[in-house]
Structures are given as structure tokens and as C-alpha cells.
Structure 1
Amino acid sequence: MSLLPAWLAFDGFAWPWCLLLCLLPWLVRLLPPIIGDQQPALQVPWANRLQQVAAGNRGLVSPHKFPWLAWLAWCLVCVAVARPQQLGPAVAPPQAGREMMLAVDLSGSMGEEDMALGGRAVDRLTAIKAVVSDFLDRRDGDRIGLIVFGDRAFALTPLTQDRASVRQQLQTMVVGLAGRSTAMGDAIALATKRLQQQPNPEKVLILLTDGVNTAGTLDPQKAAQIAKQAGVRIHAIAFGGDGAAVSLLGFQLPLGGGDDVDEAGLARIAKVTGGKFFRARDTGQLVGIYQEIDKLEPVQRQGQAVRPLIERYPAPLSAALVLGLLAVLWPRRTA
């Protein structure tokens, strides 16, 4: 570890041969002096005054009488020209991820409390928030956007690497925020529109719903064809219990009603775009599905770290300027 301050420490020179220029003043001093004609070329009445002025101008530097301050300033200039460099801290290249949109169904059926989380019964949306939040923690390097859909589809967050803002918007979602119906086709179309504008070829949509398409202007199968043409890969998740019971602390609590999930339609959507269809009937299965998606859509990890070169020439160059000024002004002050 260097004992010098950070702005003085360096590990080497880019052009070390420039240090040989430090000898240039002595080489100039070895040159024979220039002997001029001793005969006066011009007779003027003020010649004696000119000689006195010339003799009194001792602040000028002569190559045959090189002051030590000026020589030191010259050496520092040579050091700066040689470009002293220091290895900076290791920097890893950024991770190469995907453009990923998360489309979450907020229709009325997402409020059914047929899920278990932490030993208590919760509604489907609460379970989704917990699982998707954990999924976001593992997607370092992706640009992620969030879409919700009910009667219509809305983009809550654009594609961004700020996963904290996506997680914040995720936690603020409530059932019925976008309406009580399910505009699945519109959600696919909106996600495709946002994704196809990106240059990254890895475009993924994770579509999560617990129902069938009951609203919107675009049929989900037609929207899937558009997504395929745009290079968007859709992983479709059908979520929700069977409507019979929920497991809580080892007991099966009966629940009324049944689910109407278009599993066949979701499977076709996934297949036509090159994605995969999943069925989750409880929170544990949903966790496993997002872990499986992590394997299907892996984030390229950081490459080998590199240490950038930091230029350290400003310090010797600044010192050379200060010493050069002293070399010129100091003789004048002591004259």
C-alpha cells in the first residue's frame, strides 16, 4: 500500500522514455558559448545606460546558468509528459439482462382469500405481491416494467432498472384498481408496444391472471400473434385455487365457488410466442413457477472485473507551474 497521498501515488508511466528529457538542460549547458563580434556595431550616446540595464536584469534565466528551481520545474514537466498512472479500484462490467414486462390481473376475483402466506389466509393479490417482490430481488440487470389490467390495461411503471420503484408500485396495487373485468388481450398488446421499441432482442412478458378475457378491444390470441411478430416471448401463469379449500396451519378451510381460468387459451398464448404456460393453485406453486422462470430467462452475470488507469499528471504539472513562477520571480525580488 502506498504511503503517498492518493493524488501523488502512481504505479507507472505511460511514456517512461520522456523522463530522459530531464537531462536536456545539462546538454544545452555543454554547448559552447556563442561568441559575437566585440566591435560596436552602432555608436549611440546612451550605450552605457543600456549596458547598466542589461547588467541589472538578473531575473532572466540563461541556459548556461540554469537555476535549480527552474531545473526542478523542468523535471516535473517531464514527469507530467511521461504520464504517471495509477490502477484504480476494480470495476465489474454491468450485467446484461432482459427487457421484461410484468402484467398482473387486478380484476375482482383477485380479492378472493384462498391463499396462505406466513400461516394466515390472504387474498390472491397479497400472495402475488410477496412472490413477485422476491422475484424482483433476483433480476439484477433486467429492465422491468409493470402493467395492470382489469376493464382496461394500464402501465404503472415504464421499463427501468430501478427495481425499487417497480416494487413500490407493486405494493400500492389494489383489487379493482383497473376495473373488475379482465382485458387480457389489451394487456398483451400494451406490453408488446412497450417492448418492441427496445433494441434489446431479449423481450419477455410474464402474464399472470386468474380468469378469462372478459373485456378490452383485442382478442388475446390475436394479441399473442402480434407479440410473436415483435419478438416478445410470453410466459403465462394461471393463478388461483380450485375454489374448494385453503390449507391454514394444517387445516383445510372450505371455500365456496370455483375458478374459471382459461388454461387452454393461456397455454396457446405461451406456445405461439415461444414461452411456457404454468398453473399455480397456491402460493408455494407460484414461488416455484417464478424460480422456474429465473432458469428459463437467466440474467447474464458480471464478467471479469477490470481496474481502470487513472491519470496522475495534473499534480506534477501544477507543481511545475508553481516552481517555474518562483524561478522567474525570486531573482527579481532579491535583486
Structure 2
Amino acid sequence: MIGADIEFANPEYFWLLLALPLAVLWYVLKRNRQGASLRIPSLKGFGRPGLLSRLQPALFALRLLALAAVITAMARPQTQDISTRTKTTKGIDIVMAIDVSSSMLARDLRPNRLSALKEVAAEFIRKRPNDRIGLVAYAGESYTKTPITSDKSIVLGALREITYGQLNDGTAIGMGLATSVNRLKESTAISKVIILLTDGVNNAGFIEPQTAADLALEYGIKTYTIGLGTNGNALSPIGYNPDGSFRYGMRQVEIDEELLTDIATATGGEYFRATDNEKLEAIYEEINKLEKTEVEEFKYYRYEEKFRPWVYLAGALLLLEWGLRFTVFRSFI
């Protein structure tokens, strides 16, 4: 009748159970004093007390059990069912601007920069279930791969499709940033964020990075910038083989960290440098912590009272005691 999931709304009533041992003591003392005493020289000729006489205290035991059941009912045993509902109180719209120039095929990250980025970015997207995310790809020019959406399957599918060769080669940081701003400028989200990643210097496009940063500032868009590449030289594409595949060789890693820092500082974001896979993962995890979506959780409690069976049990015990007292044990009252 009492399971592991049962709780008591008024457990303080169990203190009344301390009265039961006192009642037992009172009954024993009263029973010893209740009968008249008779002194005789011998018990020969008297039979032993009958079975009913010995069972008479069971009537008192039934009353005690009934009282214990009433006390348990007063403690209000109940089960509790909890349901939750979450409400996003602060949504974040995020655009990830990804450099897809040929230098992103450098192998200083495993297996190369672009593949490592896509793997880490996919994990970042999965950890943002309450936000809308869009993708912008840029090289010598830029385009929107997917507008901001809450459908993470669409975003993840678009991320997998991003490859080198879809745009003219080059690094148009200003174009990538400006396209990202264009995707967010009409957003009504409380917080708007761009995560711009590049592994080079601005050498293409007709929009200056500083101009794009000013636009981001005007529309209240925070920009986090990431410079991707090891320190020193990296095994990078330096030409083409006769079959059209890339020929690799060591090339100096050049990242305009001053520009990326200025963009981030001007818009209220931060600049990060990722020199390997582990550092890249740590950066996206840090951004994930910095840009937290506020989620309000509502809990609904439904209680189901379980005191009625105890009341019924107490009533049944008292009824049984009353019936036995005026039938089987009538001659002993």
C-alpha cells in the first residue's frame, strides 16, 4: 500500500504513533486490575482458560491497528507526477561565416582546416537547440549557404555540403562579414551574433572589412573572429598537378590578427586563434559558454491522494472489532 514513490504531505502526524505503546501499557495495567482476586488453596478442579479468553486482547490490537491506519491517513500519503515545459526567454540568432578558400585545405589541422572546422562547427550547432543559425560561405566572393533557421537538420546538411571550389579563390573577409550582417540586420532576436573564421588576410572583394564591421556595430551584431592556422609554416596547396589535383608544399601561415581583433573589439566580441584541432574545439566551446540562451523552465505538479485506502482499512478493522466484540467475545465484555 506504501510504495517507493509515495510521499507524505503531513508526516508530522506520525508523532501520534508514539501514543500506541502507551496505550498498550495502559491496557496491560488495566487488564491486570480488572478482574477480582480469589484466594484458594488449590487450582485442582479448574480447567485452563479457554481459547477465546486468550484471544480477547486481539480486540484491542484491532483498535490499535485501526488507530495506526487513521494516523497514516492523516499524514496524507500521495504520489507526485512532475511534468516540465521550457520556454526560451532570450533567443540568439547566429550566422557562421566560413572561409572556403584553397588555403583552408592546408593540413596543419587534421585532416585539413576545412574538414576540422566543419566537424567542430557541427557539434557547436547541435549544442544550440534553442537558437536560429545560418551559414555564409566566402572566398573571393561570398554567398548565403542557408538563412537563419531553427531547423538544425537543414543547417547541418548545408554545412556538410560546403567544399572548396564553389567560389572564386581568394579571401574576401569584408564580403563574408557584410553578407552575414545582411542576414541578421532584420532579425528581431534580442541577441545577434556572427562567428567569422578565416585563415588568411583580406585580399579580395569590394567591401572593406572595417566598413562591414561598422555595419555590424550599427545593427547591434556582436562578432567573434577566429584565426585558423598553426604558427610558422603549414603544408598547403601551392599549385596543381597535371591531373588537376593540388600540389602541396610548405607555406608561411599569414593571418591578419590585427584586423580580426579590431573587428571583434569594435562589435563587442572577441578574437581567438586556433592553431590545432583541440584549440579550435576549445574556442567554439568558449563561444558556446559566452553566448548562453536563457531558458525558463516551468514545472507542473500533479498529486494523487492515497489516504482513502487507509481510511477504509481503519473502518474495516473497527467494524471487525465491533462485530467480534458483540458476537464471539460477547460473554467476555
Tell me the TM-score range normalised by the shorter chain. Answer: 0.5 to 0.7
Corresponding residue number in structure 2 for 1:171: 160
Please give the residue correspondences for 1:93-108 in structure 2 after superposition, counting only pairs within 5 Å. 93-94=87-88, 96-108=90-102
1:161 lines up with 2:150 in the alignment:
yes
Corresponding residue number in structure 2 for 1:258: 252
Count of residue pairs the alignment pairs up: 210
| CA distance 1:231–1:306, shift in 2 (3 Å) | farther
SS in 1 for 2:154: helix
Q: Percent identity?
A: 35
Letter of the structure 2 residue corresponding to residue 263 of structure 1: E
**1:194-244: CA deviations, max 9, x gaps?**
111011130100000001111111100111011101101000000012354
**1:18-56: CA deviations, max 9, x gaps?**
xxxxxxxxxxxxxxxxxxxxxxxxxxxxxxxxxxxxxxx
Corresponding residue number in structure 1 for 2:126: 137
Distance, in Å, in 2 between the alignment partners of 1:295 and 1:89 is 27
Contact 2:99 2:199 in 1 (8 A): yes
SS in 2 for 1:207: strand
Distance, in Å, in 2 between the alignment partners of 1:284 and 1:255 is 24
Distance, in Å, in 2 between the alignment partners of 1:175 and 1:132 is 17
Alpha-carbon distance, 1:191 to partner: 1.0
Regions of 4+ moved over 4 Å: 87-90
- Report the TM-score when normalising by structure 2: 0.59
Contact 1:114 1:240 in 2 (8 A): yes
- Report the TM-score when normalising by structure 1: 0.59
Please give the residue correspondences for 1:208-227 in structure 2 after superposition, counting only pairs within 5 Å. 208-227=197-216
Contact 2:83 2:299 in 1 (8 A): no
More strand, by proportion:
2
Alpha-carbon distance, 1:274 to partner: 0.5
- Which of 191, 199, 212 aligns to 2:188? It is 199
Contact 2:131 2:293 in 1 (8 A): yes
Report the more deviating stretch, 91-100 or 273-282: 91-100
Contact 2:90 2:190 in 1 (8 A): no
- Which of 102, 108, 112 aligns to 2:106? It is 112
Corresponding residue number in structure 1 for 2:284: 290
Considering only aligned residues, what root-mean-square deviation do their CA atoms show, in Å?
Answer: 2.2
Distance, in Å, in 2 between the alignment partners of 1:112 and 1:176 is 14
Contact 2:84 2:297 in 1 (8 A): no
Corresponding residue number in structure 1 for 2:112: 123
Alpha-carbon distance, 1:123 to partner: 1.0
* Pair member with larger Rg: 2
Q: What stretches of structure 1 of length at least 5 have no aligned partner?
A: 1-86, 117-121, 247-253, 309-335
Letter of the structure 2 residue corresponding to residue 188 of structure 1: L
Alpha-carbon distance, 1:92 to partner: 2.7
Alpha-carbon distance, 1:139 to partner: 0.8
- Which of 183, 193, 203 aligns to 2:172? It is 183
Distance, in Å, in 1 between the alignment partners of 2:155 and 2:181 is 18
Contact 1:114 1:255 in 2 (8 A): no
Contact 2:125 2:152 in 1 (8 A): yes
Letter of the structure 2 residue corresponding to residue 144 of structure 1: I
Alpha-carbon distance, 1:307 to partner: 8.1
SS in 2 for 1:93: strand
1:300 lines up with 2:294 in the alignment:
yes
Contact 1:237 1:279 in 2 (8 A): yes
Alpha-carbon distance, 1:306 to partner: 4.7
Contact 2:96 2:135 in 1 (8 A): yes
Contact 2:264 2:270 in 1 (8 A): yes
SS in 2 for 1:301: strand
Distance, in Å, in 2 between the alignment partners of 1:198 and 1:245 is 39
Distance, in Å, in 2 between the alignment partners of 1:100 and 1:305 is 29
